[in-house]
Amino acid sequence: MARAISEHGPAPWVRLPDGLEVLAVVDADLAHRLLKSRIVSRNPRHWPGYEDGSLEVGGVVRNWVAPQTALNAEGDEHRRLRAPIQGALTAKRVRAMEPVIREVVGSLLDQVSAGEGIVDAVEAFAAQVPLLITTRLLGIAEEQHRDFRRAVAGVFETGVAEAEAVQRMARLTQLLEKLVRDKRRAPADDFTTEMIQQADAGNPRLTDDQVRDQLMLVVSAGLETTVHGIGNLLVALMTRPHQLRLMTSGEASWEQAVNESLRYRPPAEWVPLRWAVADFDDPETGMRFRSGDPILINFGSAGRQPSQCPHSADSFDVTRTPVRHLAFGYGPHTCPGSGLARMEMEIAVRGWFDRFPKCRLAVAESDLRMIGSWIISGFAEIPVALRTSSAR
Ligand code: HEM
């Protein structure tokens, strides 16, 4: 979609499925400039008519911009809301999670291994790894895991009616409110308890609603994205055995494979929404932005644009020299979970091919169905024959 839009310029006006008109930024250099500029904000108070309710905002976009999260704040407020999230995801804390990720992946592979016939690698594996890691990080009880995954996936689906979108958000909100209440009653060694403790110690203190909204951000930003990060890499390597061999022979590293997949098919395609906080010009493109213009950045296509990747950008090549991409964003809102996501992707996908070296897609790649979302890019199902001996 981004490629078709780019035929109309670096950031043309486009109409979203729910009728909202936005400037869709599809030029990677412009996207980088806007993402680090202070004249562009993620705070919806810059959206004319939003605060006084005179502007009608459809359910899907409202679900993204309404919560008072780090994602929708700037400056001091952004730093205050982001600090506890970043604190839980430092390189040291992520390294400490490695044994947990290995254990989760190992036991999931045991379960997949016990199955017969064709397996859906999304449902049986890619969806389960981040679910089990995120729920463990947050201290969510096992009996609620399914509800959480369903609720989070529901919020990402973009083709749903207004009433349904509202209902789905309400469901996730309820689950998180209960989580905060439970942890207040019975604190434990987990991220939710730590958030509550940091919130109470903060100046000013974070309310329970703010804690709930930051948890919402971690759950919604960390789950569905990583599910499809894993799925996209599985498909890339199952359909390109010669690329897989580069890792198994030691000619390329798994880190390179993860990075190439994030360049080639990043899971976060567009992340609503930003606004111009004043009139400004972008001399490089000659574009003029007006105060209050809604801006939607395309994160998905940057790594394939000639300005970032001059050579054979449409081919998947784990040996390429790393190029600049936007899979985890750029600027103050850069993803604080990128280290965890990369580690999950690497351990999961490497573990999968160690266990099923002869697996193949059970359908042609072109027959794989994408999920129903313009926000996230990933496969709805990945049917796999685990133990075939001949390549398709
Ligand atoms: C492959 C997996 C992931 C991808 C592709 C991804 C992508 C992104 C992107 C593009 C942004 C920036 C959005 C913007 O500037 O508009 C972002 C922000 C964020 N991500 Fe991730 N993410 C992933 C995994 C995770 C994980 C595992 C976590 C946490 C456990 C996480 C937590 C967050 C948070 C809290 C933000 C908001 C940061 C802020 O506003 O300061 N993400 N992510």
Is 19 part of a structural domain of the chain? yes
Percent of the chain surpassing pLDDT 90: 68
> How many other C-beta atoms are found inside a 10 Å radius of the C-beta of residue 132?
22
Tell how far the Cα of 357 is from the centroid of ligand 1, in angstroms: 31
Report the nearest atom of ligand 1 relative to the CA of 342.
1
Cβ(272) to ligand 1 under 6 A?
no
Alpha-carbon gap, residue 265 to 378, rounded angstroms: 8
Cβ(325) to ligand 1 under 6 A?
no
Is 356 part of a structural domain of the chain? yes
Report the nearest atom of ligand 1 relative to the CA of 331.
15
Q: What pLDDT was estimated at residue 244? A: 98
Q: What mean pLDDT comes out for the span 6-12?
A: 93
Tell how far the Cα of 327 is from the centroid of ligand 1, in angstroms: 9
Question: Whose CA is closest to 294, among 9, 91, 16, 6?
Answer: 16
Burial tier of 147 (Cβ tally within 10 Å: 0-12, 13-18, 19+): middle
Is 392 part of a structural domain of the chain? no
Q: What pLDDT was estimated at residue 389? A: 52
Q: What pLDDT was estimated at residue 360? A: 95
Q: Is the pLDDT of residue 388 over 70?
A: no
Beta strands in 244-315 (DSSP E): 274-276, 280-282, 287-289, 294-297
Half-sphere exposure at residue 177, Cβ-oriented, CA atoms within 13 angstroms: 7
Is 390 part of a structural domain of the chain? no
Between residues 344 and 19, the one the model is more confident about: 344
Tell how far the Cα of 354 is from the centroid of ligand 1, in angstroms: 28
Q: Is the pLDDT of residue 345 over 90?
A: yes
Q: What mean pLDDT comes out for the span 290-300?
A: 98
Residue 77, phi then psi, degrees to nearest 5: -65, -40
Alpha-carbon gap, residue 378 to 373, rounded angstroms: 9
Cβ(294) to ligand 1 under 6 A?
no
Cβ(277) to ligand 1 under 6 A?
no
Burial 188-225 (b: 16+ CB within 10 A, else e): eebbbbbbbebbeeeeeebeeebbbbbbbbbbbbbbbb
Q: What pLDDT was estimated at residue 392? A: 39
Contact 367, 353 (CB under 8 A): no
Between residues 288 and 140, the one the model is more confident about: 288
Report the nearest atom of ligand 1 relative to the CA of 130.
27
Report the nearest atom of ligand 1 relative to the CA of 73.
40
Q: What mean pLDDT comes out for the span 164-171?
A: 82
Q: What mean pLDDT comes out for the span 93-107?
A: 94
Tell how far the Cα of 259 is from the centroid of ligand 1, in angstroms: 16
Atom 19 of ligand 1: nearest residue by CA position = 335
Cβ(340) to ligand 1 under 6 A?
yes
Q: Is the pLDDT of residue 80 over 50?
A: yes
Q: What mean pLDDT comes out for the span 74-91?
A: 90
Q: What mean pLDDT comes out for the span 268-290?
A: 97
Is 377 part of a structural domain of the chain? yes
Alpha-carbon gap, residue 209 to 323, rounded angstroms: 40
Report the nearest atom of ligand 1 relative to the CA of 344.
27
> How many other C-beta atoms are found inside a 10 Å radius of the C-beta of residue 346?
19
Q: What mean pLDDT comes out for the span 330-345?
A: 98
What domain range includes position 320?
2-385
Is 271 part of a structural domain of the chain? yes
Q: Which residues contact 274 (CB under 8 A, 6 or more apart)?
A: 34, 40, 41, 42, 294, 295, 296, 297
Q: What pLDDT was estimated at residue 201? A: 81
List pLDDT tens digits, range 183-215. 999 999 898 998 888 888 877 788 898 889 899
Half-sphere exposure at residue 276, Cβ-oriented, CA atoms within 13 angstroms: 19
Q: What mean pLDDT comes out for the span 67-86?
A: 92
The domain that holds 322 is classified in CATH as: 1.10.630.10
Among 18-32, 83-97, 119-133, 255-269, where is mean pLDDT lowest?
A: 83-97
Tell how far the Cα of 35 is from the centroid of ligand 1, in angstroms: 14
Q: What mean pLDDT comes out for the span 290-298?
A: 98
Cβ(267) to ligand 1 under 6 A?
yes
Contact 345, 197 (CB under 8 A): no
Is 391 part of a structural domain of the chain? no
User: Side chain identity at 98, as an amino acid letter?
Assistant: E
Q: Is the pLDDT of residue 156 over 70?
A: no
pLDDT band at 122; cut points 50, 70, 90: very high
List pLDDT tens digits, range 12-60. 999 998 889 999 999 999 999 999 999 999 999 999 999 998 988 877 7
Residue 186, phi then psi, degrees to nearest 5: -135, 80
Q: Which of 74, 225, 271 to mutate to test the pocket of ligand 1 (most atoms within 8 A of CB)?
A: 225
Query: For the chain, how many structural domains are there in total?
Result: 1
Is 68 part of a structural domain of the chain? yes
Q: What pLDDT was estimated at residue 146? A: 81
Cβ(328) to ligand 1 under 6 A?
yes
Cβ(298) to ligand 1 under 6 A?
no
CA 123, 127, 129, 132 torsion: positive or negative? negative
